[in-house]
Each structure stands twice: as C-alpha cells, then as structure tokens.
Amino acid sequence: MGKVGVALAAACAAAACVTAAVMVRRRMRRRRGWRKVVTLLEELEEGCATPVGRLRQVVDAMAVEMHAGLASEGGSKLKMLLTYVHNLPTGTEKGIYYALDLGGTNFRVLRVKLGGQRSTIIEHNVERQPIPQHLMTSTTEELFDFIATKLKDFVEREENVSEPSVEETRELGFTFSFPVKQNSSSTGTLLKWTKGFSIQDMVGRDVSQCLQEAMSRNGLNMRVAALVNDTVGTLALGHYHDQDTVASVIFGTGTNACYLERADAIIKCQGLLSTSGAMVVNMEWGNFWSSHLPRTSYDVDLDCESPNPNDQGFEKMISGMYLGDIVRRVVLRMSQESDVFGPVSSGLLVPFILRTPMIAAMHEDDSPNLMEVARILRDTLQIPDVPLNVRKLVVKVCDVVTRRAARLAAAGIVGLLKKIGWDRNGGTASSSKAKGGSQSKMRRTVVAVEGGLYTNYTMFREYLNEAMGEILGEDVAENVLIRVMDDGSGIGAALLAASHSASLAIDSI
C-alpha cells in the first residue's frame, strides 16, 4: 500500500470512529430522553393516584361540604343553590313546549310534545349548533340576539311542518348551565361565568329577562316559563322516566350535580321554605375543593393561566373542557425535557388546541400501530414521525388523566348519595326497606347522567363505573343505577315549563 493508500485508510477509520461516536452519543441521548419521559410519566401516575382510600376521603369531603353549603350562605365552596323547583314532573304534563339549552360548547333548541297520563314523550325535535367562539366573550345583547334568532328560525320551521302551537304565547323552558341565583323557578341572576364564557355586563343581570327582551326584539312570541340549570332539567327527565331518580350529574364541557333535598335540611333559608317539603338543590359542584384531591403541577399551571384561577377546581380535573389541555401540558413538558418528540412543536404551545374528543380518540385507538395517535400528533400538535413507543406513552398519559377524572367523578356521586342518605342514616334514599334489610336489599337508587364526556368517551364511563363498584362494594353498587338521559337537560326544561305552566294555571283559578 502506498502513502496515499495509508492516508486514505486512516481517514476512513477516523470517519468511522466519528460516526460511531456520534451514533453512540445520539443513542445515549435518546436513552436519557426516554428515561426522562418515563420518569415524568411515573411522577404523573403518582400525582394522579386515586386508590380507593383516597376516593373515600373525597366522598366524605363532598358530603361534609354539602352540609356546610346548606348551613350558611358562603359556608362552603359548594354554593348549594336554591332552584325553587319543589316538585318534579309527574307525567301528567300535556301540550307543546319549547326548550333552549345553552351549555358550554353547543346550544340546542327543542320542541317537545307531551301527551299527559304518564305517556311517553310523544315526540321531540332537536337542533344542535355550536356557540360561535366570539359570542362567548361579546355582549349580552349579541349573545341573546343570536340565540333568539336561531330559536325563531326553529319555531318557524317546526310550525310549518307540524301543527302550530295552540297557545297564543308559546312556553319555553330555558336551560342555562352557569351559576345562577334564582329568585323563582323562572327568574334568576347570573353569579359568574364558567367554561370559558366571559361577558362581564351580564353578571348580576336577570337571565330570563335578557332572553325575554331578545325574543321581543326579534319578534318571537314566547314566554320563559322555567329557568333551569342543566342538572335540574336532567333530573326532571330522569324522574319523569323513573321515580327512583334522586339526583343528576352532568359530564360535558363542565360538570355539575343536583338532587332533591328535604326543605328542613336547607338550614340557610329555613323561614323561606317552611311550608314546602322539598326542593331541588343545584350544587354547583364544579367548584368543589378538598385537600384530598390529587393535584399535580399541571393542574396548578392550568388553573393559574385560566380566566378563573382558584375557581371550579373539581371541574378543572374532571370535565371535557379541561382534560385535553391537561394532556397537552404533560406532553409539552415531556417534549421540553427530552427529545423523544423531536424539537418542541409550536402546536404544543397553544392552549386548548388538544380537545378532549381527540384524547378520547387517541386513548381508544385500537389500530396495531396507533395510527390515530400518529395522525392527531401530526395534524393537531404538528409533531410528525413519532415512533411507536412514544405513541404508546401518549396513550398512557391520556389514560392516567382520564382515569383520575372518572374516579373522582365517581367519588363525587357517592358523596352526594351519602349526604342524602344512601348510607341509610336518613334522607330521601333511605327507605324503610333499606333500613330493615341487608345491604343487598337496599333501595334502588337512580342517578340521571347527561353530557358529551360521559356518553361519548367509553373509557371515562368504564372507569367511573368501576370506581363506583370499588367505593360502594359490588352488592351495594348493584342498587345504584346510572341512567343516561339523552338531551335530558333540554327535554327536562320543557317538562318543567309544562309543570310550571300547569301549576300557574291552577294557582290562577
């Protein structure tokens, strides 16, 4: 070999050494990065842990807070709002009623035809529309004019194809799923916005009046006969179908619950209620807080950066509006602290870009190579070419966040049932049968549920049911039924409009 050959061989060897060194370094970095994300995942799992002992602490805390909220105004983070709904629909309601359901993401308009005599609801037509983002932070007039026009269009379309309302003035049940201080079953003022709405001139104003005025401005002859929270509408429909229904819970954009309470247990307004036997109480449980709730740094950051810090703490761990963003925060941190996702993508930095239906789709991706996970990471978060092991890691993050949410939700339900006497210490759910009998003979208790998170996210539903069994024990859990009420918040509002118009008619005789 000549000199040139030797030099060439040496150069090749040197190049090979450099390449090998680069590859080793890269492999080591990748391994370090992988170790880092695994550590972050383990920390997340630990921070979100919900062993049954902790869930029982949450159950007790919920029951205690309910008592405190009923004892005095401001006595708890649970507002335990009066609804002035003393009676739930009986099945004798008759006629055509409209409902307007303003939730967090969508609004729905409905027309419900009731046959009376405990007949099933003859028919109901519903139209769903997303609430345009800009209206969530605009003015009261803009929001309500938009709603009134859509309602008017719906009424005109409906009355074109079916018989017009016999009533001169149509009756409306208005479901308004934000905290309201009711003055009667059909009026009330907005206490605060939640779920990303922020129209400041509306706080403190009468919600029914705002809608009533918008309907007049837009030439729609309709009267708000009932103003209800979505939980109350759902309870009304649940009770209409099944008299063992004692409570209702919403798992949608937000989360909340209500139940029928004995009037004498509502200590904060004894005088007001002395003649009445019971009232539906809107818990506003999204604002529940307890030191037993497993909180992570991701929850703290989400809360700090939200428009309502220190508010709606339970909701921020549980509901559809937030679960996707918790997952995004975890993935962002993993991406910042390792290179397993490649360079930090700008998509990951956008709050709320990863929506809960997307984490459900990733979580429930059953394709062998997790193609749906790859698609969402690429198209939504702009993270291309994620290897399979990292895709699995993302699925695990979705699992941890959703499992915690569902298990805490279950603890909330059991806490509610405990307060109203499911545990046989008294209250509406503790029948004589339950008092005398064994646990398995305990009274059948139904909880009506509504909301897109519960109905569309199978894993959320399964984890919730599983946790109910763990907390209650399987034989007791058998007697607690969770029944989905599709469109319950809207149909229930129409039912309440019907029962309230009926009682008004009787009152005026």
Catalytic site residues?
195, 230
- Nearest CB to ligand ADP, comparing residues 252 and 415: 252
Please report whether residue 127 would count as binding ligand ADP according to CB under 6 A.
no
Dihedrals φ, ψ of 20, to 5°? Answer: -60, -40
| Structural element, H or E, at residue 142 | helix 140-161
**Residues near 456 by Cβ (< 8 Å), separated by ≥ 6?**
357, 360
Query: Which of Mg ion, ligand ADP, none interacts with 238 (beta carbon under 5 to 8 A by kind)?
Result: none
- Total number of residues that touch ligand ADP (CB under 6 A): 16
Q: Tokens representing 425? A: 């210490």
Comparing CB distances to Mg ion, the nearer of 100 and 317 is 100
Please, which of residues 467-496 interact with Mg ion by CB under 5 A?
Answer: 489
Pairing of strands 81-82, 278-282: antiparallel
CA distance 442 to 429: 9
To ligand ADP, the closest distance from the beta carbon of 144 in angstroms equals 17
Q: Which of Mg ion, ligand ADP, none does residue 286 bind (CB under 5 to 8 Å by kind)?
A: none
Stretch that binds ligand ADP, among 21-29, 71-79, 356-364, 391-399 (CB under 6 A): 356-364
Choose the contact partner of 452 out of ligand ADP, Mg ion, none; CB within 5 to 8 A by kind: ligand ADP
Could you tell me where the DSSP H helices lie in 310-450?
313-318, 320-337, 356-363, 371-379, 388-419, 432-436
Give CA–CA dist 179/503, Å, rounded: 26
Selection from 171, 37, 44, 149 nearest residue 99 by Cα = 171
Q: Out of ligand ADP, Mg ion, none, which partner does residue 457 contact, by CB within 5 to 8 A per kind?
A: ligand ADP
State yes or no: residue 427 binds ligand ADP (CB under 6 A): no
Within residues 249-268, the interface with Mg ion by CB under 5 A covers: 252
Q: Which is nearer to ligand ADP, 130 or 436 (CB)?
A: 130
Dist CA 267 CA 72 (whole Å): 7
Provide the greatest CA pair distance for the chain: 120
- The site partner of 233 among ligand ADP, Mg ion, none (C-beta below 5 to 8 Å per kind) is none
Neighbours of 445 (CB within 10 A): 22
β-bridge partners, 340: none
Please choose which of Mg ion, ligand ADP, none residue 322 contacts, taking the beta carbon within 5 to 8 angstroms, the exact cut-off set by kind.
Answer: none
Q: For the CB of residue 500, give the shortest distance to ligand ADP in the complex, in Å.
A: 22
Q: How far, in Å, are 111, 128, 155 from residue 162 at the CA level?
A: 11, 19, 10
Angstrom distance (rounded) from CA 74 to CA 78: 8
For Mg ion, which is the closer residue by CB, 73 or 486?
A: 486
Which among 237, 191, 165, 177 is positioned nearest to 79, based on CA atoms? 191
Nearer to ligand ADP, 321 or 429 (CB): 321
SS3 state of residue 72? coil
CB of 27 to ligand ADP, least distance (A): 38
What is the nearest approach in angstroms of Mg ion to the Cβ of residue 493?
Answer: 11
Q: Which of 69, 91, 95, 104 binds ligand ADP (CB under 6 A)?
A: 104
- Contact status: 238 vs ligand ADP (CB under 6 A): no
154 binds ligand ADP (CB under 6 A): no
Q: 175-214 mask for ligand ADP (x: CB under 6 A)?
A: ----------------------------------------
- Residue 97 vs 197, nearer CB to ligand ADP: 197
Q: Contacting ligand ADP (CB under 6 A), which of 76, 253, 296, 345?
A: 253
Minimum gap (Å) between residue 315 Cβ and ligand ADP: 11
Selected binder of ligand ADP within 360, 400, 480, 491 (CB under 6 A): 360
The DSSP 8-state label assigned to residue 305 in this structure reads: T
33 binds, among Mg ion, ligand ADP, none (CB under 5 to 8 A by kind): none
- The position carrying tokens 């009787």 is 506
Residue showing tokens 């005789």: 509
Write down the number of H helices and E strands in the chain. 17, 13
Closest CB to ligand ADP among 125 and 456?
A: 456
Minimum Å gap between C-beta 270 and ligand ADP is 34
Least Å distance between CB 128 and ligand ADP? 8
Per the CB < 8 A criterion, the answer to whether 227 and 176 are in contact is: yes
Distances (CA, A) of 29 to 76, 186, 335, 336, 337: 50, 64, 14, 14, 12
CA distance 338 to 341: 8
Nearer to Mg ion, 185 or 489 (CB): 489
Give the Cα separation of 78 and 312 in Å (integer). Answer: 10
Only one of the segments 166-174, 301-309, 332-340, 451-459 lies at the binding site for ligand ADP (rule: CB under 6 A); that segment is: 451-459
HEC profile of 207-236: HHHHHHHHHHHCCCCEEEEEEECHHHHHHH
Element housing 20 (H / E):
helix 3-47
Residues 72-111 interacting with Mg ion (rule: CB under 5 A):
103
Nearer Cβ to ligand ADP (341/457): 457
Which residues contact ligand ADP (rule: CB under 6 A)? 103-106, 252-253, 320-321, 356-357, 360, 451-453, 456-457
Q: Interface with Mg ion by CB under 5 A: which residues? A: 103, 230, 252, 489
